[in-house]
Amino acid sequence: MFLRFFLLLALCSAALQARVDKDVIYAMRGGLAMLMDVHYPERSNGFGIVFIPGSGWHAPLTYDATPLKESGFAKLYVPPLTGAGFTVFVINHRAAPRYSYPAPVEDAQRAVRFVRRHAARLGIHADRIGGVGGSSGGHLISMLGVLDGDGDDRNADPVERESAKLQAVFARAAPTDLTRFEGRFSSASVSSLLGMRLGQRDPPSSTAYRIYRDASPAAHVTPDDPPFLLMHGTADDRVPHARSQEFLSRLEGDGIEAALVTIQGGGHGASFPGAKDPPDYLGAIVGFFKEHLSGGAPAEKPPPAESSKAERIERDVTFGMVSGGALLLDVYRPERPNGYGILHITGSGWHSPLAASAPQQKASRQLEVFGLPLVEAGYTVFAVNHRTAPLNKYPAQIEDVERAVRFIRHHASRWGIDPERIGGVGGSSGGHLTLMLGLKPSPGTPHDPDPVNRESAKLQTIVPWAPPTDLILHNGTYGSGTFASLFGMRLMARDPKTSPQYIAYRDASPIHYVSHDDPPTLIIHGDTDAVVPIQHAELLAHRMLETGVAVEVLIIPGGGHGSTFPGKSPDSPDYVKATVEWFDRHLPN
């Protein structure tokens, strides 16, 4: 009876729902985009719900991992909420084992700040935002209820000035005290998330205990916290029902309005598997938010999504998932396509700022200089993001751009390009990665379960500008701070060639991969470049010529380090035109 009722409710809600804005970027973290889906109701009541599915705080390490926001938990719980008029924001967040606590909490807080900052555009009241989470998502959503989450009024990013505190919280089967040992949930998953194990003999004064307690919602309850609705099955074998009972007592002890809905016989899952004749828990959730997010007039219906019709740009295509974060590319379609694709990699020193508002690499000035003229010439240009240091160490950067090439090649028909003729252009660190894609062997894995990984990542024609080609040469006598951050280790001149650091730097140097089957290469370099000396271009070109590879070096007299080669002489060659002509001459062959 209940199942038939839910299916009917879900179908009706789906029919009423106006639209879903997919893959809205609410933060950038080390080159990865944190995404949310915005589920709009047909008739908005003006209230918003931030939704965090459960995942054990973890995500698979493969690029083809399903985004957290597409979980079954969301598919079950979102339709009743949107059907009742709530606008629901289902989020991804960084996940273990790559990213440890407090990364997931930081992302969840950023999502609330983002929603609050853009509340008017999203059609909700900024001071009326609730939260839904289950299991590990219940833990995170509870943290958003009990942490202060104050905004920073002096932050240059206006999103960070907003509060991350929720006004009402629903938490299903939430582990609210991570210092407790009952059940399987509190061992490996929590230890991996927090990066350490808490032993039963560790005293409260120990570092591990303090970290486990700091990550526990129960440790942060104060009298000004919002109302809570807890829900838990009595047969939960992962997070014991007793955790919610204890958390309820903790909330009520501080005068917080709270309730616990107990599902008799229910196990650990969004639908409480094994429950006999469960109550209308979906209706209870809707009723809870209607009661506790009331106040203020309904907001206006949000405007329809705008499209970039004239630009012919397909933005924010996800080409890989990395532990909760998305790798994105933008596709620039030409008016008269010639059937060839070009990968554009922005130079960033392999790094990006740590602020959540960090700009995306794919939207750089370098793309305007080198990429857009290629679009005008008929090439389909793919501008990519990749993971960056200091959060992500090498070889994450090369792994990501290899994934981008494989993805483009696998989906070539989608964009009308020849999968066997893909070129690449990039400058500085982007030039380094472009060279690696041209010179380093990177065949596909024939029987990989992910069909994208079966494709080759080798490019057929490349134009790197100002690329560092020998990282050992570029490192200097006393080591480079950039490289030490990128690799997580420094290399000194006295370190032997057998040392791990020397091998790592060498293996990341394009000059050591030159072979007779490398693609035609045009290297553009300013002769006064003080960041990457022109010697890098000359040494690589000499090695390639010796090997029989088609290579040219276009020298920019007076040119410094940058996409416009600052300081270049007035009679410098037209390097943008030369780039287009190089691809015209070599990519079709």
All residues at 6 or more sequence positions from 366 whose CB lies less than 8 Å from its CB, including other chains: 344, 346, 347, 427, 430, 563
Average pLDDT of span 178-193: 75
pLDDT surpassing 50 at residue 544: yes
pLDDT surpassing 90 at residue 320: yes
Residue 32 φ/ψ, nearest 5 degrees: -95, 140
Q: Which fold has domain 313-470+509-586?
A: Rossmann fold (3.40.50)
Do 26 and 94 form a contact (C-beta atoms < 8 A)?
no
pLDDT (tens digit per residue) in 107-133: 999 999 999 999 999 999 999 999 999
pLDDT surpassing 90 at residue 10: no
Do 442 and 393 form a contact (C-beta atoms < 8 A)?
no
Mapped onto helix, strand or coil, the DSSP state of residue 345 is: strand
CB atoms within 10 A of CB 572: 16
Terminal CA-CA length for the chain? 66
Q: Is the pTM of this model over 0.85?
A: yes
Do 92 and 33 form a contact (C-beta atoms < 8 A)?
no
Domain 2-292 is in which class?
A: alpha beta
Mapped onto helix, strand or coil, the DSSP state of residue 26 is: strand
Q: What is the pLDDT of residue 19?
A: 87
CA distances from 447 to 48, 175, 305, 405, 419 (A): 45, 39, 40, 18, 19
Residue 186: pLDDT band with limits 50, 70, 90: very low
pLDDT (tens digit per residue) in 479-519: 899 999 999 999 999 999 999 999 999 999 999 999 999 99
Measure the CA–CA gap between 157 and 163, rounded to whole angstroms: 13
Residue 6: pLDDT band with limits 50, 70, 90: very low
Measure the CA–CA gap between 465 and 425, rounded to whole angstroms: 8
Mapped onto helix, strand or coil, the DSSP state of residue 310 is: coil
pLDDT (tens digit per residue) in 63-87: 999 999 999 999 999 999 999 999 9
The burial class, CB within 10 Å (0-12 / 13-18 / 19+), for 538 is middle
Do 112 and 144 form a contact (C-beta atoms < 8 A)?
yes
The burial class, CB within 10 Å (0-12 / 13-18 / 19+), for 17 is middle
33: its two tokens: 């985009």
Q: What is the pLDDT of residue 13?
A: 45
Question: Phi-psi region for residue 562, left (φ > 0), alpha (ψ -120 to 50) or beta?
Answer: left
Residue 16: pLDDT band with limits 50, 70, 90: very low
Enumerate the domain spans of the chain. Answer: 2-292, 313-470+509-586
Q: Do 2-292 and 313-470+509-586 have matching folds?
A: yes
Residue 199: pLDDT band with limits 50, 70, 90: confident
The burial class, CB within 10 Å (0-12 / 13-18 / 19+), for 191 is middle
138: its two tokens: 């219940």
